Structure 1
């Protein structure tokens, strides 16, 4: 299951794509404007972005260029009514990974989504170590160290920290964390994520994981040495 951002201002199209992705087992989020799409892309920790060009404020090219300019490397599939060679070239040169013209068949879009996600998955496991500052996770050894000291984590704490380390500096919602770590549908009454975040904070220090109100949690290196373990 992948977290996929759909940036599309036509409600009929975004609903159609969203329902199809849900049926395929993914977790879609819809943004109807370029500004909202850019905000989500910069903070949401998505696995893939489906981006329209003709948006009501920032156009898709601007969204893409600003994303790439701020270091967001998430794969992007442009889905747009603009189908000229010039538009295709501009999209790819702006940093898109694929370009698909409307009207489209959902089966083809889903095939391209699978291809991009598979490419990311294939590239990802070659990394044996995740690191933010002096917080290091050794994946093959299933070991975490902080400033050279081994941190004893349960399997669930390790999986939660891995989710954060895979998206440093990005906000992950409770829904995303539940999906990635626990693997079941989001229950708005569950506080299991909050409980395990507290467990992690006790073990690695309060300064590493910050709460972003009404959005979720973000892991980043503490600027204050007092906040380190």
Structure 2
């Protein structure tokens, strides 16, 4: 796995992701809106889609629905800046069991993708947004949200 499609409309975040993934040896392409993401995901050129839910044109939910509606099995990691992370996870679990079925599966996927620097950077950003006590580091395992 080395070809990533990043669906992110904020140039600064897209550049941050590209830099981190490229430093780890990945090839990246950015889609700036939902329409571009759907069109690009139609090809077999990508191993993974990093999908922002807040895309212009078609939002991430619509992109996700259309890709899965076509029967594509492209791996997808969903990013969101929504205030309620738990609501997003619940929506994914209730609407599509093949995306997130257990809270630890995302960390497993990130471990398989082998992007520790990018993960650390995102955890730092999440802690800044949600509060430093909201995410706990579990040595040798990863991270977990505090209730």
TM-score (norm 1): 0.42
1:114 CA drift (Å): 4.2
Kept in 1, the 8 Å contact 2:89–2:100? The answer is no
Larger Rg: 1
CA 116–20 in structure 1, closer or farther in 2 if over 3 Å, else same: closer
2:83 equivalent to 1:86: no
Any residues of structure 2 matched to 1:58-207 within 5 Å, and which?
A: 58-84=58-84, 85-92=86-93, 93-94=95-96, 96-97=99-100, 112-115=109-112
Deviation at 1:112, TM superposition (A): 4.2
Change (3 A) 1:54 1:42: same
Residue 38 (str. 1) matches residue 35 (str. 2): no
1:4 aligns with 2:7: no
Say which structure, 1 or 2, has more relative contact order (CA 8 Å, 6+ apart): 2
Give the structure-2-normalised TM-score: 0.64
* CA shift for structure 1 position 22: 0.4
8 Å CA contact 2:4, 2:49 repeated in 1: yes
SS of the aligned residue for 2:42 comes to helix
Output one character per residue of 1:89-111: Cα deviation in whole Å (capped at 9) or x when no partner: 2234345359xxxxxxxxxx998
C-alpha distance in structure 2 between counterparts of 1:27 and 1:48, whole Å: 11
Distance in 2 (CA, whole Å) between partners of 1:90 and 1:2 is: 29
Q: CA RMSD in A?
A: 2.5
After TM superposition, which residue ranges in structure 1, 4 or more long, deviate above 4 angstroms? Answer: 109-112
Count of aligned pairs: 107
Q: Which runs of 5+ in 2 are unaligned?
A: 115-147
Structure 1 residue runs of 5 or longer lacking an equivalent are 99-108, 118-229
